């Protein structure tokens, strides 16, 4: 199982997209802090699609890369972490 990639090692386009979605989805500071701590722990993630629920949003990814944020009422695909 791969580990999630650290924020600094994400491709610029992925980081830019995630930041844009953070603003679009009005993700709270508490959830962003939870996200930071979770990413810093270098969790294992599946090769395929996955998502992590942070309360006010869901982080969706594939393999070692996070891809986007969803609102709580949006359906996520893949394995829940």
pLDDT digits (tens, 9 = 90+) for 55-68: 888 999 999 999 99
Report the run of H or E that residue 49 belongs to, with start and end. strand 49-53
Where in the sequence is the domain holding 18, given as residue range(s)? 7-69
Look up the pTM and report it: 0.84
According to the model, what pLDDT value does residue 11 have?
Answer: 93
Residue 34 lies in a domain: yes
Residue 75 lies in a domain: no
Residue 41 lies in a domain: yes
Let me know: does 80 contact 19? Beta carbons within 8 Å.
no
What domain count does the chain have?
1
Residue 31 lies in a domain: yes
pLDDT of residue 25 exceeding 90, the answer is: no
Residue 29 lies in a domain: yes
What are the tokens at 58? 């869901």
**pLDDT tier for residue 53 given thresholds of 50, 70 and 90:** very high
Residue 74 lies in a domain: no
């Amino acid at each position: 199982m791969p580990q999630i990639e650290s924020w600094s090692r994400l491709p610029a386009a992925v980081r830019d997209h995630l930041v844009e979605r953070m603003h679009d989805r009005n993700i709270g500071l508490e959830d962003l802090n939870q996200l930071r701590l979770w990413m810093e722990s270098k969790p294992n993630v599946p090769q395929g699609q996955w998502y992590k629920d942070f309360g006010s949003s869901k982080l969706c990814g594939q393999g070692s890369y996070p891809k986007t944020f969803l609102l709580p009422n949006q359906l996520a695909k893949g394995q829940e972490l």
